[in-house]
Amino acid sequence: MISMNYLAQTAFFGVRAVLLALMFSGTIASAQTSVPRVVQNTQCTQIKVCYCVNDEFLPIIDEKVKALRAMIAAEKASGKAIGYFSVPLSTTGGGYFGVNVEVSGRAKLRIEERFGKDQVWVLNPAMKEADLSAPSGARGGHGEYMLMWTRVLEGASGLGEDFDFVYFAGPSDFAAFFGLTGQGDMETIAKYFDKRFAEDASLKREVERGRVTKNSFRNYYALRASVSFSNGAHDEWNIVRLLNERRRGDPKFGNAGQIPKFFDGKAVSSGEFENPIAAGSPGACKAP
């Protein structure tokens, strides 16, 4: 026979369990609501290139664009021609961000030395002043960076008036970094990987995550290292093409006032730079 005391205890623990469950679910709900929600919206530039962007970065992008334009204006005021360096930076396809940043820095100096340090200033997209980091700790992605660079490239009037040329990185820019001679280039790159892997904690993490392997690193820098395999650089090529199209129709510029393009150190012909290439990854936000 079940005693009344037993029934009372059962009822007590049943109610207690329900209360605990409600408290626990409330805690979860509270935790869930406290997590900031990423809000993305489509942002388009003057030349009608659109990107899907995290709203948190919009004021940061505004500040960076102003600062970069001021930097360009200061160099231009000193009488220098202004160039933009398009280079793959992200860790993808076997490439490694750390190496790409160093390649970009050295290539900037080499281009400036080629034309004369007192005559030319090249905007390096890997510069620390262009870093997109939010107060929350989040870092900008492709859409955020490309919105910033598109706005910088198009300038205040949408004609790219701040730039005198754009230089697209090619195989020779990377070969110079590794000291490739055309003899045993893959061996040279493989040895470089071993040395860097032993010293670079960030590269080790990328290897542990499966984003880079010794063979993918070797193949990328021996066979693919150039703007030809970069989403961002594809977008930048098309952005400059659009700017030149607008310039050709503007009486202040016309054909003679188009922005020259260089690839791998050589000037690109009009037939090449007037043609679009496959887009990287611009576009409006996709519906959920």
pTM: 0.85
CA distance linking residue 137 with residue 255, whole number of Å: 45
Per-residue pLDDT tens over the stretch 77-99: 999 999 999 999 999 999 999 99
pLDDT at 14 over 80: no
Q: Band of the pLDDT at 283, cuts 50, 70, 90?
A: confident
The DSSP annotation for the chain comes to: ---HHHHHHHHHHHHHHHHHHHHHHHHHHHHHHHSPPP-EEEEE-TT--EEEEEGGGHHHHHHHHHHHHHHHHHHHHTT-EEEEEE---SS-TT--HHHHHHHHHHHHHHHHHHH-TTTEEEE-TTSGGG--B-TTS-B--HHHHHHHHHHHHHTTTTS-TT-SEEEE--HHHHHHHHT--SSSHHHHHHHHHHHHHHH-HHHHHHHHTTS--HHHHHHIIIII-SGGG-HHHHHHHHHHHHHHHHHHTSTTTTGGGPPPEEETTEEPPHHHHTS-----S--PPPP-
Residue 36: predicted pLDDT? 55
Q: Which residue has the higher pLDDT, 264 or 31?
A: 264
Q: Band of the pLDDT at 273, cuts 50, 70, 90?
A: confident
CA distance linking residue 228 with residue 238, whole number of Å: 13
- Any idea which of 96-105, 136-145, 220-229, 261-270 has the lowest mean pLDDT? 136-145
What would the mean pLDDT of 246-250 be, rounded to a whole number?
96
Q: Band of the pLDDT at 106, cuts 50, 70, 90?
A: very high
CA distance linking residue 141 with residue 145, whole number of Å: 6
Q: Which residue has the higher pLDDT, 24 or 121?
A: 121
